[in-house]
Amino acid sequence: MTTIDRLDQWRQAEIITQDQHVRITSLVRKDRFSVFLELNALLYIGVISLVAGIGWTVQKYFNAFGDVLVLASLSMALAASFYYCFTRGPNYSKDEVESPNLLLDYVLYFGCLLLSAELAYLEFRFQLLQEAWNDYLLFSTVVFFGLAYRFDNRLVLSLGLSSLAAWFGLTFSRFRLISDDSMRVLALLYAAFIALTGAYLHRKDIKRHFLETYLHVAANVAFIALISGLSSSGKTSLLLPLIVLSVAAIVLGVRYRRFAFVVYGSVFGYFGISVELLRVVRDFEMALIYFIITGTAMVVSMVYLARKLGREE
């Protein structure tokens, strides 16, 4: 009797599940398996490392190389990256478009990082915009968003959202809105703005699948802003909006089968409630019992929801 026959018997006897049967059988038969995620991770790390190495080299030896050589090298690499993307990439569509190959997405990402490095070098060496240097961020944001939608690239979209967040903060800091409270309000406004922007574009049928990226960023920014107020400054007035946001994330995450948002709502909500309870409960044993019971309940509930929702995302 072969191993496959034994696996069939175990499956019929319900000793193993259908999913386990399929996975083990694939290993026994030495079927091909996907390394897509691993390749993506290696390419991402490679791009980041390459750009970091270029930045370090420029910073270390720009006096020896000279401005002309540095800018010419960066511009040539930037032009080559974008030329490759525009000549090999698919035509624009407002719907989701599959990339023709894995390399194109990361060449585009590399080009965008090079653009940021070149703009930073220009301002560092020549102070072209001086006090208005944060307008580089606005320019980068516009370019990144344009390229993200042109090539259907979520990595570049995340760069655009990050640049927009930086521009948001630096622009409003000019009005001396630099206190913790004002920055927290600013973060919440930013989260609301990008969530509404993503929802509007989704409603207009423009890259509908990008909505989730907008919501991931908005949710994390909003939760971190509220949690920072509770943990650092002890503003109990932030607990109610935190709970409301947590419940909304959990309910909508379950409804639309998006496990990540269930995790956001559960973890951040649990942390916020725990912070407030520990302000009241000073007894170490009571606090320990609380964390044992509630922590176990959190883990069990997350495992249950992961099995129920995670596989269907």
- List the chain pLDDT tens, one digit each, 313 residues: 567 677 777 778 777 777 777 777 766 565 554 554 556 666 667 777 877 888 788 778 777 788 888 899 999 999 999 999 999 988 899 998 888 887 899 999 999 999 998 998 888 888 877 777 778 888 999 999 999 999 999 989 999 998 998 887 766 665 555 566 778 888 899 999 999 999 999 999 999 999 999 999 999 999 998 988 886 665 677 888 999 999 999 999 988 888 889 999 999 999 998 888 887 777 777 878 888 888 888 888 888 877 776 544 4
pLDDT given at position 254: 87
Copy the structure tokens of residue 92: 């624009």
- The pLDDT score that the predictor gives to residue 313 is 47
Which of 114, 92, 95, 93 lies closest to 48, judged by CA? 114
**Residue ranges of domains in the chain:** 1-33, 34-166, 179-313
Compute the distance between CA of residue 246 and CA of residue 258 in angstroms, rounded to an integer: 14
Q: Which pTM value belongs to this model? A: 0.78
Q: How many CB atoms lie within 10 A of CB 31?
A: 9
Predicted pLDDT at 160: 93
